[in-house]
Structure 1
Amino acid sequence: MPRPRKRDYDDLRRDLIDAGGRLLADEGPAALSTRRVAQATGTSTTAVYSLFGDKAGLVREMFVEGFDRLAAAFAAVPRTGDPLADLLALGDAYRANALANPHLYELMFARPVPEFRPAPEAGRRIRSTFDALVAACARCVEAGVFAEADPDAVAVQLNAMAHGLCSLELRGALGDAAEARAHWRRAFAALTRGLA
Structure 2
Amino acid sequence: MAVEEIAGSVPERLVAAAVTLLAEEGPSAIKVRSVAAACGLSTMVVYSHFGGVPELVGAVADHGFGELERGFAEIPVTEDPVTDLFAMGIRCRRTAQANPHLYDLMFGLSTRATYRPAAGAGARLSGHSPAFKAGYAHVIDACARLVASGRISPAEPEVLAASLWSYVHGFISLELADHFVEFEDPLTQVLVPMGVTFCVGLGDTPDRALASHLAALSR
The answer, yes or no, to whether TM exceeds 0.5 is: yes
The answer for unaligned runs of 5 or more in structure 1 is none
Following the alignment from structure 2 to structure 1, what is the Cα–Cα distance between the partners of residues 123 and 21? Answer: 25
Q: Given residue 154 of structure 1, which amino acid in structure 2 is its aligned partner? A: L
> Which position in structure 2 is the counterpart of 1:172?
178
Task: Return closer, same or farther for 1:54/1:114 CA change in 2, 3 Å cut-off.
Answer: closer
- Aligned counterpart for 2:21 among listed residues 16, 19, 22: 19
2:57 is matched with which residue: 56, 59, 70?
59
Alignment of 1:148-163 (within 5 A): 148-163=154-169
Q: Percent identity?
A: 29
The within-5 A match list for 1:135-150 is 135-150=141-156
Cα deviation for residue 8 of structure 1 reads: 4.4
Moved more, 116-125 or 90-99: 116-125
| Residue 49 to residue 178, structure 1, CA distance change in 2 (3 Å) | farther
Aligned positions, number? 187
Query: Please, which of 104, 107, 110 is the counterpart of residue 105 of structure 2?
Result: 107
Is residue 62–residue 129 contact of structure 2 (8 Å, CA) maintained in 1? no
State how far apart, in whole Å, the 1-side matches of 2:42 and 2:184 are: 42
CA positional deviation for 1:96: 1.4
Shift of 1:62: 1.2
Note if contact 1:83-1:139 (Cα within 8 Å) is conserved in structure 2.
Answer: yes
**CA deviation after TM superposition for structure 1 residue 178, in Å:** 4.5
Determine if the alignment matches structure 1 residue 85 to structure 2 residue 87. no
Q: Which residue of 1 aligns with 2:196?
A: 189
Residues 133 and 148 (structure 1 numbering): CA distance in 2 closer, same or farther, change over 3 Å?
same
In 1, Cα distance between equivalents of 2:65 and 2:41: 27
Q: Which runs of 5+ in 2 are unaligned?
A: 204-219
SS of residue matched to 1:7? coil
- Counterpart amino acid of 1:173? H
Q: Distance in 2 between matches of 1:164 and 1:128?
A: 21
SS in 1 for 2:105: helix
The one-character-per-residue Cα deviations of 1:119-154 (angstroms, maximum 9, x if unpaired) are 366625121222211110110110012214211111
Change (3 A) 1:173 1:61: same
Q: Alignment partner of 2:76: what SS?
A: coil
TM-score of the two chains, using structure 1 as the length reference:
0.80
User: Aligned residue for 2:72?
Assistant: 74
Amino acid across the alignment from 1:17: V
Task: Quote the offset at 1:53 in angstroms.
Answer: 3.8
Aligned-residue Cα RMSD (Å) equals 2.9
Q: Once the two structures are superposed, what CA deviation does each residue of 1:47-94 show, in whole Å capped at 9, x if it has no partner?
A: 534553422321121121121111111111111122221111111111
* Alignment deviations for residues 4-48 of structure 1 (CA, whole Å, 9 cap, x no partner): 8x93444553122332465554x4xxx642124345x36444353
Of the structure 1 ranges 160-169 and 91-100, higher mean CA displacement relative to structure 2 is found in 91-100
Separation in 1 of the partners of 2:129 and 2:105?
A: 17
